[in-house]
Amino acid sequence: MPGRQGCGPNAFAVLAGWQDTAGHRQFPARGHPGRCLPDGIPGAPCNNRIATILREYPAHNGTPMRSPSPLLLILVAMITIACGCTQTMPTAPDPTTERPTATVLPATPTPEPSVTTMPAPPADPIIGSWLGYQYAASGRYEKVWTFYENRTWVMTNRNMKSPTTKVVKGKWSASGTATYSAVPQDGAPDTFTYDAAKDRLSDTYFQGTYTRFSGSIAPVTRPPSLEVTLNSAQAVLAINGSHPATGYRYLILNISVTNLSETAGYVFSDENARVTTPEMPVSKAINRKLIGKLEDPFPSEKIGIGETRQGNVIFGIPEASGSFTFRLIGDNGNAIAEVITRETIWRNASYSRSPG
């Protein structure tokens, strides 16, 4: 609720008048503006009313009034009390009815935790394929070293004069900042040094220099090291009293084998003689199972370079088979002779030395 403020010293200054130079108290004369205060300051309405009353009070014999009458003073006092010489003051909030309003600040978003992605460790510079050439009395050789991330390597060594390729495998390890050790599956280890400025490899064993190779080298087909000639093929239901399983026939091939380039020689075995037909993925030779039954079996003795051997090789195939493919393979699973395919098979009840 607004509070009251008294008229203050300005109101009473007007009421009391002032003293002139002779020491006489003076009051505003009739028509004198008096000491009115601007309405914009405290006590102005009250003082201005009092000044108006004093101006309108009649002067005594035309001279300034020396002292006001008691009635005038009482009237002025009553006006002072009733005039509402007040000033509205700001009121304090009632704690029982009002509560301070809290200032709501915009929510500050919680910063996301920073995730630092660690870069992948750089790949070892030796990883990849490297190409180099060497020269020997037998001609120029192309060497390709391929180092893999799993710490293995493969080296192909190709004679440029003839389409023969040697493949060597092994494991590698870093033995220094730019030095690597390559250990083959069998043989002496080799040491490589990497030149980062030139992006090159050099080795101490072959004393070769290799550049990084990102292309592809056309695969080299190894020429056959054996020459095989199919002399005859026949499918029979029995051979010297031996019968195959129900639904099968014996396939008997008479072949001649000449060793062209196997320096270690060639020795025939049932495991390395294979036949496939449309009805059967693969069948291995069964010469050993029919010892004493198969006539003229292919000899198991070593065949030297330039030598030729001849004999029979026997397989079991489905009775419905009308064609076949024959191959001799090496210890690495690759064919070492020309693959022979025959679209027709001579059929007979039993083996004949001279099939039709």
pLDDT digits (tens, 9 = 90+) for 292-341: 999 999 999 999 999 999 999 999 999 999 899 998 987 666 678 878 88
With a cut of 80, say whether residue 243 has pLDDT above it.
Answer: yes
- As a whole number, mean pLDDT of residues 251-267 equals 92
Torsion of CA 6, 11, 16, 17, to 10 degrees: 170
With a cut of 80, say whether residue 138 has pLDDT above it.
Answer: no
Give 241 or 136, the one with higher predicted confidence. Answer: 241
Contact between 251 and 200 (Cβ < 8 Å): no
What mean pLDDT value characterizes the chain?
74
First to last CA, the chain: 137
- Binning pLDDT at 50, 70 and 90, where does residue 244 land? very high
- Binning pLDDT at 50, 70 and 90, where does residue 60 land? very low
Shared-domain flag, residues 236 and 273: yes
With a cut of 60, say whether residue 125 has pLDDT above it.
Answer: yes
Shared-domain flag, residues 206 and 249: no
pLDDT at res. 32: 46
pTM: 0.41
Strand order in 280-284's β-sheet? 280-284, 273-277, 324-328, 340-342
The DSSP code sequence of 251-277 is: EEEEEEEEESS-TT-EE--GGGEEEEE
Shared-domain flag, residues 313 and 346: yes
**How many percent of the chain have pLDDT more than 90?**
31
Span of 80-84, 87-91, 229-233 with lowest mean pLDDT: 87-91
Reading the block at residue 286, the tokens are 């069964």
The answer to the question of residue 262 being in a domain is: yes
pLDDT tens-digit map of 143-162: 889 999 889 998 888 876 66
Shared-domain flag, residues 178 and 230: no
Look at residue 54 and give its three-state secondary structure. helix
Span of 277-281, 311-315, 329-333, 345-349 with lowest mean pLDDT: 329-333
Shared-domain flag, residues 234 and 345: yes
With residue 15 as reference, give the H or E element that holds it: helix 9-16
The tally of domains found in the chain comes to 3
The answer to the question of residue 43 being in a domain is: yes
Alpha carbon distance 179, 249 (integer Å): 61
Shared-domain flag, residues 259 and 342: yes
User: Residue 353: CB partners within 8 Å, gap ≥ 6?
Assistant: 295
Residue at a domain's end among 48, 82, 116: 82
- Binning pLDDT at 50, 70 and 90, where does residue 67 land? low
Q: What is the CATH number of the domain that holds 247?
A: 2.60.40.1240
pLDDT at res. 70: 66
Contact between 328 and 272 (Cβ < 8 Å): yes
Shared-domain flag, residues 209 and 230: no
Shared-domain flag, residues 252 and 208: no
The answer to the question of residue 275 being in a domain is: yes
Enclosing domain of residue 41 = 9-82
- Binning pLDDT at 50, 70 and 90, where does residue 31 land? very low
Shared-domain flag, residues 263 and 160: no
Shared-domain flag, residues 280 and 195: no
The answer to the question of residue 107 being in a domain is: no
Give residue for tokens 């059967």: 280
Span of 247-261, 271-285, 334-348 with lowest mean pLDDT: 334-348
Instruction: Tell me the sheet residues that pair with 174.
Output: 180
